Structure 1
C-alpha cells in the first residue's frame, strides 16, 4: 500500500452543550450530544520511505504545525524506521466554528497512517494518542454519534433520526479559551440523562437543552447573534454549536435559503449514522 486518497474527515454539531461544574484542576464538566454531519474535509496520504512527514494544503492554508502533522508525529513513534508520509489536506470545514474540523482531520490522519504504515494499532491505542491532541479526537475515531460527558472522555454511542440542518458560519471566529475563562459563563446546569434526552417528545432530539457557551459567545462575538437572527428570519430556530461561532438549525424539509451575507459560509447538511471510516481500527 503506497497511498490512500479521498479520505473524509466529517464535522460535528453539538446538539446541546451543558456545563455541569468545574474540577479542581480547572477543567469543565460537560454534557453534550456530538452528531456527525456531511460537511467534510478530505485527506490524501502517500507513503514516504525517507522517514519525513510533509503536508500540502490543497485549499485553505493551514498553520505550520497543525493537528494533522502533530497526529502524524505522535503515531510515527510506533512506526518502523524510514516510514514517513506526505499528507494532502483539502480544508472545507471552517476553523473557529465549534465544528471540530481540526480534531476530525487528526482522527482521519491517525486512522489512515495506522493502515498505510501497517501498524494495526487497536482503536483504544489510537484514542489514547488522540486524547493528547484534543478532547474531541476520540469521538471522531470511534465514528458514531454520541452522548458525551465528563471533560469529553466519556463517550456513549447513540442513534439519531435522519435530519437536515442549515449550518451558518459568520466570518468572525471565536477563541474557545476566552469563553471557558469568562466569569459570566454558567457552570451549574443540572445533570441530564440519556433516557431523558431520548424521551423528550416535546422538543425531540434536535430541540433538547441549550448551549451554555452561547450567551458568552454572543457577548464576545456579535456575529453569533446576527447569524442566529438571520436563520430566524428564514423561519428556523437556531443555536450555536460547540464554542462557536457557527450556528445551526434543524430544517423540517428541503428549502431554498437566500444567499448569506458576504464572507459567511452557509450549507445545508445531513447527519451521518456513522463515520465513513468506522471500523478502520478494531
Structure 2
C-alpha cells in the first residue's frame, strides 16, 4: 500500500510562553503544500525500514514511522511490515516532513489492516509521536495552539496565488531556534490576523524564530529579502527554518536563487 505524505508551511508563528513541562505554548497557522514524500508498506516476515532519496539521519528504531508501527501494535494485532520511504521533503526545513510521514503511516496502517480508526483515534496516536503530527491526519488549514497539537479550523484558501519555497544550504535545529526566542503574549491572535488580505500580512504576521535564526544564518535572511525583491506579497521562514516561502500573484523567476538553493515552484 502506498501514499504520499505532504509538507506544511507555517503562516505566522508566535511563541507565547514556556510551559511547566518544558515545552512552549505557541500559535501558528499550518497550511499544507504540495511537496511530497512517497511511503509504501507491504506485509513481511519481520518489521524493517528502508529509505531512498534524501538521506535520513539517526537510528532506524527512532524513525517516526517505526515508532508509529509499534504504537499501533500495542493495541492491534497487526502483522510485521516492510516500510520504504522515498524522502523528497527537505529535512531540517520547518516543513514537518517527519511528522507527515508518521501521520500518513498511521493512516496507511489503518487502511491496510482494516482498523477503521476514527479521525480522533488517529490524531491521538499522532500526538504521541510529535507536536505537529496530528495536523497531517486531516491535512487541512488550521489555527494551531498549545504545543502546536490543538487545532481550530481556519477558512484559508491560497489556491489563487503561487507559493514558492526556497531551501537554503543551512540546517536549523529546533533546539537552536527555541534557545534564541523569548516568549511573549500576543496583542492580536493569528486566528484573526490570517483573515486579513494577503497583501496586509507582511505588516501584521511574523515568525518569532526569524530574529535569532537570521543572526546565526544570514543566508536565510537573504532568501527572504530576495523573495520580497522578486515581488512576493508575503514571505516568511517556515517553522524554525531553514526553508523560506513566498506568496506571489504570478510565478516569479528565481533562477538567481537556484544556484545555491533548492527552489520548489508552485507548491
Per the normalisation by structure 1, the TM-score is 0.85
Alignment of 1:11-22 (within 5 A): 11-22=7-18
Alignment deviations for residues 220-278 of structure 1 (CA, whole Å, 9 cap, x no partner): 222211222332342335211100000011011133321525452101133xxxxxxxx
Range that drifts further, 69-78 or 7-16: 69-78
- The structure 1 residue matched to 2:170, chosen from 164, 172, 183, is 172
Cα separation, partners in 2 of 1:91 and 1:259, compared to 1, 3 Å: farther
CA-based RMSD: 2.1
Give 1 or 2: higher helix fraction: 2
- The 3 A distance-change label for structure 1 pair 57 and 207 is farther
Specify which of 60, 73, 76 is matched with residue 54 of structure 2: 60
Q: 2:93 aligns with which of 82, 97, 110?
A: 97
1:15 touches 1:208 (CA, 8 Å); kept in 2?
Answer: no
Number of residue equivalences: 261
Gaps of 5+ in 2: none
In the alignment, which residue of structure 2 is the partner of 1:43? 39
* TM-score, normalising length: structure 2: 0.89
1:190-209 matches, within 5 Å, as: 190-193=186-189, 196-201=192-197, 203-204=199-200, 208-209=204-205
Contact 2:54–2:90 under 8 Å retained in 1: no
Q: CA deviation at 1:11?
A: 0.4
Residue 110 of structure 1 corresponds to 106
Distance 1:191 1:139 in 2: 25
- 1:258 alignment partner in structure 2: 255
Does the 8 Å CA contact 2:9/2:95 hold for their aligned counterparts? yes
1:110/1:199 CA distance change after superposition, 3 Å: closer
| 2:28–2:145 Cα contact (<8 Å) kept | yes
Distance 1:21 1:257 in 2: 37
36-45 vs 214-223, greater mean Cα deviation: 214-223
Cα distance change on mapping 1:201 and 1:94 into 2, 3 Å: closer
Change (3 A) 1:195 1:20: closer
CA 175–198 in structure 1, closer or farther in 2 if over 3 Å, else same: closer
Separation in structure 2 between the aligned mates of residue 210 and residue 230 of structure 1, nearest angstrom: 17
Partner of 2:125: 129
Query: Distance in 1 between the 2:186 and 2:22 partners?
Result: 19
- State the 1:203 CA deviation: 4.1
